[in-house]
Structure 1
Amino acid sequence: MVDSGIGRRLAAPFAVDRRVLALSFAQLAEGIGNSFLVIVLPLYVASGTVGGTDFGLSESMIIGTVLSLYGLLNSSFQPFTGNLSDRFGRRKPFILIGLTGLTITNVAYLFAESYLALVVVRGLQGVSVAFIVPTALALVNELATAGDRGGNMGVYNTFRLVGFGAGPVLAGAVVNAGPYALPGLEVVTGAEAGAAVAVTGFEAAFYVAAVASSVSFLMVTVLITDPESTRANAAADLSIAIRDPTGRTLLDPIFTLGVSTFFLATAIALFATIQPQVNAHLEQDSTWFGLQFAAFILAQVFLQTPVGRACDRYGRRPFILAGMALLIPTTLAQGFVATSEAMFLVRLFQGVAGAMAFAPSLALAGDLAGEAESGTKLAVLTMAFGFGLAFGPLSSGALVGYGFQAPFVFGAVLAVFGTVLVYTQVEETLETPSPVPLPFVGDD
């Protein structure tokens, strides 16, 4: 671990361990590179660059398959990678394996000239990121203490969200500004001999994504170390309980948080894939839809860290309950608002609900995770969130045919069940709220 005055000054304003801040910056770079492809891949398929056997699928179905396969494999493999990192008592090597795979697959897109190759590369990319998500969160959890775990989770999630939100904006700009002439390099053969070597916008986007994941790899390599306690307490007997082993409640609290997180992610993802119906219902253009979509992320970016710090002082459960309860009206209202401005406000408050629930849920699960169990336990929540993000669009696409309100009524019902589960099955873990401001810099 590199220990410097610069590191301490950077960490101080965020009130987190310096290594958590370094990991957050690394995930910011990874998030930018990975979210690049959310915009680039559909455009790449539609450009005609990719061909070959389409298996009888339409172009839109191929795009949907490529994008959804990533989330499906990513979420499915997270419990296995998290569990494996617990067994070895190591986090850093798993993160580096994932970042290496992410970098290689970003470059591999340049050579994917068929639909099948594109599907394979995107699938491998999903598996690669599955090595990163649960192990990085486990590392954040182990570098934190009960008194600052929520703040650390909030800062980490904020940086990831900023990267994920900035990536698509940068991707669109990079693709549209291409092709790019490379100075000092000329074509030496063929009809274009003597002309400057050019890189298309798509090629540039894939290179940028690879560079971003490489930067993240370097930051983790240089700045991050595994805590000695994680290695010393490597666990072999790891399992995910459904029933509460203590008998105080019916369901295990971490499993309960996983279910409520799935409901949360499903509710917030309903909006994403019904843009034509939303625009027609509100008589608005795509600009308004973009603003409404961004409103949720905006609230998350600004509130994750303050909410995380607050739950360190006042408890996890009140924030999770308040967030799940607020999710009910803010999801339902999206089906009934009549103006673009109202939809923007409702989406903004839905982002508030998400921020209030997610970071405290991770902190509470982290409190409950035993020594060297963080990878397995936190993977329950990250897997649930990923599956919810995949299930939400599928649900809205299937239900919107029954009326514009149907998807949002469905999401609100899920939020009700999630709120009831948290209220009845999850107990507070922070026994002594922090009476004083949290320390700025964690000890190594």
Structure 2
Amino acid sequence: MREILRRVVAQFVVDRRVLALAFARMADGIGNSFLIIVIPLYVASDVVGGATFGLEEAMIIGIVLSLFGFLNSSFQPFTGRLSDRIGRRKPFILLGLGGLAATNLAYLFAESYVSLVVIRGLQGVSVAFIVPASIALVNELATTGDRGGNMGVYNTFRLVGFGAGPVAAGAVVNLGPYSIPALTVGPYSLPGLTVSGFEAAFAIAAITAAISYLLVTVLIADPEGTEANAGADLSIAIRDPSGNHLLDPIFTLGVASLFMAASIALLATIQPQVNDRLAQGSTWFGLQFAGFIVAQILLQTPIGRACDRYGRRPFIVGGMLLLIPSTLAQGFVPTSETMFLARLIQGIAGAMVFAPALALAGDLAGEGESGSKLSILTMAFGFGIAVGPLASGALIGYGFATPFVFGAALATLGAILVYTQIEETLETSASVPIVGGD
């Protein structure tokens, strides 16, 4: 038992700054994923009103959720490149977290569809400062022999927060309103308050972003070599410069990440339709949404370590292949339990792609260009998260299974691309040491 525990702990042995950044991203991940569940319920409530511009409720939800991803992804190449030029990561992360905390509080005053769109858009811009700088920092603190493990640990803790948020969000909203009793301290007194479930959820999201800001401020510092290597060639290639393949490998990984993320995010917009079809409540939906995350939390780090030994490509190709049936099945499952199982398998597929793809791109990125190169993957993933809800909101009218058939088709195309366009980056993968291994 002691040996098993030692091996588990060894999986998470990384640079303390990577671990601190992972904990910080876990905190803001809780708040951000809260909103994925809360916003659709908020739009459907009586609190929000105003002009709908002739759009159906599902389409409004899709626009609000998707705008975040579109703006987040659109700005990531610029923020990633700027952080490379300046040679600093920490200021970008702090700027983004500050904006995220402020916009989470702004939801407390939003009472129209237009205001929700504006706030969610500002959040997308804020997160665009966080993601490329964070991934670049992890990449610069790693080496070829442990890059997959570092990416796995970072993603594991980040996803713990992202997975916990949806489960807690449904409960927080449903259990509201909350009564806060009056407080008297000496000559001072504060009146009692009644807080709705929505207000409590938005407050929690703001608090978690503030905690993340504090953690980064105290525990994170830029590597000394980052600024020294600033100003490298930061161009983004589409065609393979070596001529061995049609597409550049990092660009190919970006396209595959977009397709994977779109398949994952199909469920977000159609919460009312899923709940009606399966005769379930928002708590069950939160569990299903988080099922994808649960698998990744359990597998990201061990798969990251394994790809440091056995290579990146086998995991990426295998994950994209597994994504096809796990996405398609969600359009035909008959019960809440089978929907959860399908999401769990989809999470296994995602875990096989995430850390190995980031590690492979990190292997290919030169000194001083981590922000630019890795932002291709994070940008593409963000676009996929935006496209998924928008696509399902538009396609659900053609039948419940239609969005998932679309997602399976994207996953098939992504699998073909990674199989034909990606080569292994580890020369002698079997001999690469693993931290904590034999």
Q: TM-score, normalised by structure 1?
A: 0.86
Tell me the residue number matched to 1:18: 16
In the alignment, which of 190, 202, 206 is matched to residue 206 of structure 1?
202
Tell me the residue number matched to 1:160: 158
Q: 1:271 Cα shift?
A: 3.6
Tell me the residue number matched to 1:132: 130
- For residue 429 of structure 2, give the secondary structure of its aligned residue in structure 1: coil
- For residue 322 of structure 1, give the secondary structure of its aligned residue in structure 2: helix
Tell me the residue number matched to 2:107: 109
Alignment-mate amino acid for residue 130 of structure 1: A
- Distance 1:180-1:293 versus aligned 2 partners, 3 A rule: same
Q: 1:205 Cα shift?
A: 2.9
Q: 1:77 Cα shift?
A: 1.0
Alignment-mate amino acid for residue 294 of structure 2: L
Tell me the distance in 2 between the aligned counterparts of 1:399 and 1:114.
25
**Higher mean C-alpha deviation, range 238-247 or range 400-409:** 400-409
**Higher mean C-alpha deviation, range 109-118 or range 251-260:** 109-118
Tell me the distance in 2 between the aligned counterparts of 1:53 and 1:278.
26
Tell me the residue number matched to 1:189: none
- Distance 1:426-1:217 versus aligned 2 partners, 3 A rule: same
Percent of pairs with identical residues: 72
Q: Deviations over 1:51-109 (max 9, x none)?
A: 55555555555444332221221111111111111111111110011011111222223
Q: Deviations over 1:120-141 (max 9, x none)?
A: 2221111001100111011111
- For residue 14 of structure 1, give the secondary structure of its aligned residue in structure 2: coil
- Distance 1:55-1:345 versus aligned 2 partners, 3 A rule: closer
- Distance 1:26-1:275 versus aligned 2 partners, 3 A rule: closer
Tell me the residue number matched to 1:331: 327
- Distance 1:279-1:58 versus aligned 2 partners, 3 A rule: closer
Tell me the residue number matched to 2:183: 184
**Higher mean C-alpha deviation, range 384-393 or range 359-368:** 384-393
In the alignment, which of 268, 280, 296 is matched to residue 285 of structure 1?
280
Tell me the distance in 2 between the aligned counterparts of 1:378 and 1:180.
46
**Higher mean C-alpha deviation, range 208-217 or range 54-63:** 54-63
Q: 1:224 Cα shift?
A: 0.8
Tell me the distance in 2 between the aligned counterparts of 1:87 and 1:422.
30
Tell me the distance in 2 between the aligned counterparts of 1:418 and 1:61.
26
Is the 8 Å Cα contact of residues 180 and 201 (structure 1) preserved in structure 2? no
Is residue 322 from structure 1 mapped to residue 318 from structure 2 by the alignment?
A: yes
- For residue 183 of structure 2, give the secondary structure of its aligned residue in structure 1: strand
Tell me the residue number matched to 2:89: 91
Tell me the distance in 1 between the aligned counterparts of 2:79 and 2:233.
15
- Distance 1:64-1:391 versus aligned 2 partners, 3 A rule: closer
Q: Deviations over 1:197-253 (max 9, x none)?
A: 444443333332222111111111111111111110002531110001121211100
- Distance 1:47-1:149 versus aligned 2 partners, 3 A rule: same
Alignment-mate amino acid for residue 344 of structure 2: L
Tell me the distance in 2 between the aligned counterparts of 1:172 and 1:341.
18
Q: How many residues are paired up?
A: 426
Tell me the residue number matched to 2:5: none
Tell me the residue number matched to 1:245: 241
Is the 8 Å Cα contact of residues 185 and 197 (structure 1) preserved in structure 2? no
- Distance 1:200-1:278 versus aligned 2 partners, 3 A rule: closer
**Structure 1: runs of 5+ lacking an equivalent:** 1-9, 187-192
Tell me the distance in 1 between the aligned counterparts of 2:190 and 2:90.
47
Q: Deviations over 1:149-182 (max 9, x none)?
A: 1111111111111111212333334443433325
Tell me the residue number matched to 2:70: 72
Tell me the residue number matched to 1:7: none
In the alignment, which of 369, 376, 390 is matched to residue 373 of structure 1?
369
Tell me the residue number matched to 2:3: none
Q: Deviations over 1:257-305 (max 9, x none)?
A: 0111111112223344445655676x55346655443332221111111
Is residue 360 from structure 1 mapped to residue 356 from structure 2 by the alignment?
A: yes
Q: TM-score, normalised by structure 2?
A: 0.87
- Distance 1:241-1:233 versus aligned 2 partners, 3 A rule: same
Tell me the residue number matched to 1:423: 419
Tell me the distance in 2 between the aligned counterparts of 1:194 and 1:109.
24
Q: 1:196 Cα shift?
A: 2.5
Q: 1:370 Cα shift?
A: 0.8
Tell me the distance in 2 between the aligned counterparts of 1:277 and 1:110.
27
Tell me the distance in 1 between the aligned counterparts of 2:274 and 2:399.
11
- Distance 1:23-1:410 versus aligned 2 partners, 3 A rule: same
Tell me the distance in 2 between the aligned counterparts of 1:366 and 1:263.
20
**Higher mean C-alpha deviation, range 283-292 or range 358-367:** 283-292
- Distance 1:268-1:118 versus aligned 2 partners, 3 A rule: closer
- For residue 243 of structure 1, give the secondary structure of its aligned residue in structure 2: coil
Tell me the distance in 1 between the aligned counterparts of 2:209 and 2:193.
25
- For residue 326 of structure 2, give the secondary structure of its aligned residue in structure 1: helix
Is the 8 Å Cα contact of residues 181 and 191 (structure 2) preserved in structure 1? no
Is the 8 Å Cα contact of residues 140 and 223 (structure 2) preserved in structure 1? yes
- Distance 1:57-1:344 versus aligned 2 partners, 3 A rule: closer
Q: 1:397 Cα shift?
A: 3.9
Tell me the distance in 2 between the aligned counterparts of 1:338 and 1:42.
23
**Higher mean C-alpha deviation, range 271-280 or range 158-167:** 271-280
**Higher mean C-alpha deviation, range 414-423 or range 56-65:** 56-65
- Distance 1:375-1:182 versus aligned 2 partners, 3 A rule: farther
